[in-house]
Amino acid sequence: MKKRIIFFLLFLITVESSAQHTFSKFYDNEIYGNRVSDLGVDFIQMPDGGYLFPSLSTNLYSADTLGFAKTYLQIIRTDINGDTVFRKIYFKKHYTLKISLIARCNDSSFLLVGHSFDLVKYYKDSTGSEILVIKINSNGDTLWTKSMGIGDGDEFTNRLISTKDGGFAILGQTCDKKETNCDYYLMKLDSNGNKLWYHTYSWTSTSWELPMSMTETKDGEFLLAGYTDGVNIAYLVKADSAGNLLWQKRIDRKKGYPVELLTDVSIGDSNTYLVCGIAGTSTISIGHFARLDTSGNILMEKQVGNPNKYTNFRTIIERNGIIYAQGETNEYLPVNGNHFQTTLYSYTTEGTPKWSRIYGDSLIIDRRYLIYRMKSTLDNGFAMIGWGKNPKDTINQNAQDVWLFKVDSNGCLYNNCKDWHVGMETINASRIFKCFPNPAHHEISIESDEEFQSFLFFNLLGQEVKRLDNPISFTINIEDLPEGIYVLKAITNLGEEFTERIVVN
């Protein structure tokens, strides 16, 4: 009995220790330099807690002999802390590669799926892009490569999943040569990557469909989600295990703004489905998620965001009775610009908010960051992959890098993180307390009739980044603060507090 207790305690210590692994890392195509745009949209967590993911690298400053930008497939393996273990780079002359999806095979190997564009064939007979399937081992070495198509137009890939029967399913878009008509396609592969069947789906024979996400149900059926211009609205398809159409529906709201696009679909609790995406009008964009029954009817829905700003959801997961919705917003940036904050929201099963997180690496002004996938990790945290500009990169001409980061089960990159709303309200607003200029670059000045004992600066993660005690001046030098959004907390000699949001650019 004593040994069993000791073993149990050691197990708890191990679980608690593993739960502390969090990181935020950027990955550049180091071989070909900084002028390469890197993109990551999918990943696999390895049994040791590390990660394996494909990356598409496009050299923006170098073209092949046909005048097209060179593209490279990069395979990156990391350890549990996100540090690179190895990377492999593949390049095929006169091809534009779009390899971005990964799934685990039963024999400890991995399937990569994307699409390729043979530029020589295109110039010869206007041949479009084809589906490309590559099998690699755990060291990133290629075992075999296969190409396959559907029609004489273009095939694009959007989602890859392992299926319950040991095979794989690919969701994508198939278009005619002029791309005036595009449909969903669902393709089934066996465990060796051989094509078993495919089906296409569309609202009408002339409508244009954009697929975004797919999941397999508990019964082995398939849910496909995206958009159709047949009704200019979110579009959900359900097919049986052989790909035969069961039903198709526009997903419209019961209240709020119209749902324009579904970006993710997943299996919820109690035999329900979850969808998320974007709702709004031509001038309004807010996040939307909903719970559906097995016939696609809305049971619960939530719309999140400021109609005067932009909010979108990209991934939705339900785990242990809690819904997690990941996306981006610029709601809490008081200045205009092409930049978004990466966010994670938590809700009860009824849609009541629990907490919300914002991630600091996505706060650089006029830099856009985008996360494509979020997955649960072995320690019940979450990992997310996308792209952005490394905040530590000082090379102005550097393009985007792959961004992979890991948070704990509370969405924190560090212990005891807070909602980004906490501490943002201005206290004692009726009394004089003004900060100017705002936005600021070199320094800010404070106008107040109070005497202060401390000025404290916090980033939007709640971390203290600058502190001035017993200030002798109400003009504060901020040249040591990187561009971003900060909260200034001013504490008076009587212990009262004022807070103000400061933009540094």
Q: Using one digit for the tens of pLDDT, what is the confidence trace for 202-220?
A: 998 888 999 999 999 999 9
In this structure, which CATH number among 2.60.120, 2.60.40, 3.40.50, 1.10.150 belongs to the domain 433-504? Answer: 2.60.40
Query: Hey, is 80 helix, strand or coil?
Result: coil
Of 161-165, 367-371, 481-485, minimum mean pLDDT range: 367-371
- Is 180 a residue whose pLDDT tops 80? no
Looking at residue 16, its pLDDT comes to: 37
Looking at residue 47, its pLDDT comes to: 94
Question: pLDDT-based confidence at 5, cuts 50/70/90?
Answer: very low
Q: Using one digit for the tens of pLDDT, what is the confidence trace for 416-470?
A: 676 654 433 333 333 567 888 888 888 999 888 788 888 988 886 667 889 999 8
Looking at residue 261, its pLDDT comes to: 93
Average pLDDT, integer, range 325-350:
80
Euclidean distance between CA atoms 234 and 155, whole angstroms: 21
Pairing of strands 130-136, 142-148: antiparallel
Looking at residue 325, its pLDDT comes to: 97
**Domain boundaries of the chain, sorted by first residue:** 20-407, 433-504
- Is 116 a residue whose pLDDT tops 80? yes
- Range among 236-245, 251-260, 308-317 rated most confident: 236-245
The distance from CA 501 to its chain's CA centroid, rounded to whole angstroms, is 27
Question: pLDDT-based confidence at 323, cuts 50/70/90?
Answer: very high
- Strand locations in 119-258 (E): 130-136, 142-148, 154-162, 168-175, 182-189, 195-201, 209-216, 222-228, 233-239, 245-250
CATH superfamily of 20-407: TolB, C-terminal domain (2.120.10.30)
Average pLDDT, integer, range 182-186:
95
Looking at residue 464, its pLDDT comes to: 82
Euclidean distance between CA atoms 174 and 385, whole angstroms: 26
Of all residues in the chain, the percent with pLDDT exceeding 70 is 81
Average pLDDT, integer, range 492-503:
76
Looking at residue 331, its pLDDT comes to: 75
Pairing of strands 95-104, 110-118: antiparallel
Question: pLDDT-based confidence at 6, cuts 50/70/90?
Answer: very low
Average pLDDT, integer, range 479-499:
81
Q: Using one digit for the tens of pLDDT, what is the confidence trace for 49-89?
A: 999 999 988 876 666 655 666 788 889 999 999 999 999 98
CB 249 within 8 A of CB 236: yes
Q: Using one digit for the tens of pLDDT, what is the confidence trace for 94-107?
A: 677 787 899 999 88
- Range among 15-29, 55-69, 369-383, 475-489 rated most confident: 369-383
The mean pLDDT value of the chain amounts to 83
- Is 232 a residue whose pLDDT tops 80? no
pTM of the full predicted structure? Answer: 0.80
Adjacency order of strands within the sheet including 311-319: 311-319, 322-329, 341-348, 353-358
Euclidean distance between CA atoms 487 and 104, whole angstroms: 44
